[in-house]
Amino acid sequence: MPIESSICKKQLQFPDRHETCSVKWDRNTQDVLPFSVADMDFSGSVHLINRLKQRLEHPVLGYTDPFPNTKRTICNWWNSRYHTTISEEAVIYSTGVLHSYVQIIEEFTRIGDKILTFSPIYPPLFNLPVKLGRPVVFSELINDNWQIDCEDVEKKIRSDPTIRLLVLCNPHNPVCKVWGKVLLEKLVMICSKYDVLLVSDEIHIDLSFIPAVSILQVSRPQDAVIVLGSPVKTFNVAGIKGSFLFCPSVKIRERLAIRFKTRGISDLNLFAYQMLEEVYGNPENEIWLERAKNQISANYQLLCKNMKRSLPKVEIAPLEATYLAWIDLRAYLTDEQIKKACHRAKITLHYGNEFGLNGEGFIRWNIACDPVILEKGIDLFIKEVSRISLG
C-alpha cells in the first residue's frame, strides 16, 4: 500500500535550513532547490535533541572520556538488528567513516598498492585512495539490476597481487542496492583466498527497506574484515561527527587502535558520545527512524509516479536502501543536457558520471526532504527535460 506523503508529513517536521551553514542548502543562492548532499531535511528525533540539551544544562564542557556504556550500546544495536555477536573490544571510535577509511588505507597498504572497488560508487571511496597514491581498479556493477560480478572481482585480484584492499559499499550508494548473503560470502571467500583486506562501508545499513546483511554475519573473527559503521545517516546527525568501526581480528585492530589514538581519530567530542548512546540505546528514537523511512518510501513513490507520468522511458532503481534515488535518463538526455536541465530548473543533485564511468546518463536524487519541495523540484526538472529533449 502506498503511504500518503501528507500522512507522514504530520509526523515529521521540515524546518527551513537556510542560514545554518548547511552544506546542502547554504552553498547555493536561495532560489535553488537542493537534492544533492546526503543528509535529510527532517528535524531530528526529539529524544536525541532533548538529550543533547540536557547535557548543556551542566555549564562545563571540559575534556571528556568515552562514556562507559557507549560501546556496549553500539554492539547491542548491531547484534540485535543483524544477528551478529560482535563484542565491545572489537569497536574503535572514529570521527567519521571517511577518516577511518584514510587511516586503514595508510596503515595496510603502501604507495603504489592498488585498491579494488566497484563502479558506480560514492566518489570518495575511489578519490581518496588515488589522492593517497594508491591506484584504484574498478569492477563495474553489471547494469542489469546492478549486480556485483564476483568472477570479475576474482579475476582481477588473482591477476594483480598489488591489489591489497577491497572496498564494498553495503548497502550500495548509489544504485540503492542491498547485497545478499551468498554474494557477501563469496566476497569474503575471495578476499581470504588472496589475502586481501575487506573493508565494508555499512553507513547506510539501517536505512534498508528489505532485510540487509552485514559482512560480519558471513565472516569469521580471524578474517581480515573491517566494518565502517555510523548512525549519522540513520539518525541524520552528520554534523555531530561520531562513528566507529568493527574489527573482529585482534591483529588488525591492535594496529588500528594505536594509529587512531595517535592521530586523534578516536577522540570524539562530548556530544558524539551522547548522541551514539542515545540513538542506539533509547528505543524511542526507533519510532523517529520508522517515520523517516516511511517518509522516504512515500517520497520514492511520489518520484516514480510523477517522473513516469511525464517521462515514461525513465528508469528508477528499486529503493532497497538509502534515500538516494538512482535515475536513468539515457532515453532522453546526454550528460551535458542533464546539467543544462538542472541548471535551468534551478535544482542541484549529483550527476551519475561523478560516481564512475558507467554512471553516465544517470542522476542521484536525494529524496529525504519535504514532499512539497520534492514535487516542486520534480516538476521543474521534468519541464526542462521535456523542453531539451524535444529540441
Ligand X SMILES: Cc1ncc(COP(=O)(O)O)c(C=O)c1O
- The site for ligand X (CB under 6 A) is made up of 38, 96-98, 122, 169, 173, 201, 203, 230, 232, 238, 243
Residue 111's H or E segment, with its range, is none
Closer CB to ligand X, 125 or 333, in the complex = 125
**At its nearest, how many Å lie between ligand X and the CB of residue 362?**
16
Q: Sign of the C-alpha dihedral, residues 125, 48, 208, 37?
A: negative
Contacts of 381 (CB under 8 A, 6+ apart): 341, 342, 345, 347
DSSP summary character for residue 70? H
Closer CB to ligand X, 98 or 296, in the complex = 98
Contacts of 8 (CB under 8 A, 6+ apart): 291, 294, 295, 298, 371
Give me the residues paired with residue 137 across strands.
116
Q: Residue 391 has which C-alpha cell?
A: 529540441
Closer CB to ligand X, 134 or 172, in the complex = 172
Closer CB to ligand X, 126 or 288, in the complex = 126
Give me the residues paired with residue 199 across strands.
167, 226
Closer CB to ligand X, 203 or 307, in the complex = 203
Compute the distance between CA of residue 273 and CA of residue 38 in angstroms, rounded to an integer: 22
**At its nearest, how many Å lie between ligand X and the CB of residue 266?**
14
**At its nearest, how many Å lie between ligand X and the CB of residue 204?**
6
Closer CB to ligand X, 1 or 21, in the complex = 21
Compute the distance between CA of residue 172 and CA of residue 259 in angstroms, rounded to an integer: 28
Cβ-in-10-Å burial (0-12, 13-18, 19+) of 353 comes to middle
Residue showing cell 538512482? 326
**At its nearest, how many Å lie between ligand X and the CB of residue 167?**
10
Q: Nearest to ligand X by Cβ — which residue?
A: 96
Cβ–Cβ contacts within 10 Å for residue 280, how many? 23
Cβ–Cβ contacts within 10 Å for residue 146, how many? 19
**At its nearest, how many Å lie between ligand X and the CB of residue 110?**
24
**At its nearest, how many Å lie between ligand X and the CB of residue 277?**
18
**At its nearest, how many Å lie between ligand X and the CB of residue 126?**
12
**At its nearest, how many Å lie between ligand X and the CB of residue 355?**
11
Task: Please tell me the number of Cα atoms within 13 Å of 262 on its side-chain side.
Answer: 8
Closer CB to ligand X, 140 or 375, in the complex = 140
Cβ–Cβ contacts within 10 Å for residue 81, how many? 15
- Inter-CA distances, 368 with 42, 180, 234, 386, Å: 7, 25, 11, 25
**At its nearest, how many Å lie between ligand X and the CB of residue 230?**
5
> Before 174, cis peptide (omega within 30)?
yes
Closer CB to ligand X, 47 or 241, in the complex = 241
Closer CB to ligand X, 245 or 347, in the complex = 245
